[in-house]
Structure 1
């Protein structure tokens, strides 16, 4: 496991991120960052700040446990488990989901991320924990042998 300072700063930042901390994205992201997750593609730090602010608006808790870190040149990958508490998911109980972030750091500013792509199971994070949709998604997963 390579503990690069810029990668560690990124991980630390995400464990401080909440609706009051989103205006600090400049610490870890370039102005022209491209952020992609299974549900969105966001271009630009200002747009990402708005996205994160809305995302965290009703979140009670969001913490990451970071696992493997791989950093080679300007590319990095970090695996993680996110623990999320939101009043509309799982009746406000904690939801855990595993994922991975692929990060790119520009050569001219290797302390900040210019590309961030998250990979995770949206069903495990979201759909399975919604009051009406959840039971249907869990049933489908069982039938498909997951």
Structure 2
């Protein structure tokens, strides 16, 4: 199966994702799709939509930029950046970026059935938090070769 069209459509969807377009997940994901990232593990397109709805409540102006794609017969790997500001920060907060990758598998209809996000929560998130960031940076330096 050639999934180039499905991957291109999915990238366009993510790069234009908004609180309103979260409703469109069923166009791209199978009803019983699996999703996992460092904080969530869910099954079902409704649960996946819930994760992204929550993201829009927690972050200001989140947006995805896909930097690379690797296509396989029934899947793809997308290398991406998520740009955002923390909602609770004063003045909208400092601009932040999380860099990660998504491993995707598609069904015969070209819908995502398996989505696993890989990104380093310690480096990309915890080190930047004022409360525990110093501890994470200390541990990283201490454990480095």
Coarse TM-score class (shorter-chain normalised)? 0.7 to 0.9
Any idea what SS the aligned residue of 2:39 has? coil
Deviations along 1:45-92, whole A, 9 cap, x unmatched? 111112211122132122222122111211111111221211347971
SS at match of 2:59: coil
CA distance 1:15–1:96, change in 2 (3 Å): same
Q: Which moved more, 1:51-60 or 1:115-124?
A: 51-60
Q: Is the 8 A contact 2:65 2:80 kept in 1?
A: yes
TM normalised by structure 1 equals: 0.86
CA 1:89–1:5 in structure 2 vs 1: closer, same or farther (change >3 Å)? farther
Gap regions ≥5 residues in structure 2: none
Map residues 1-146 of structure 1 onto 2, 5 A cutoff: 4-88=4-88, 92-107=93-108, 109-110=109-110, 112-145=111-144
* Contact 1:30-1:45 within 8 A present in 2 as well: yes
Give TM-score scaled by structure 2 length: 0.87
Contiguous gaps of at least 5 residues in structure 1: none
Where 2:19 maps in the other structure, the secondary structure is coil
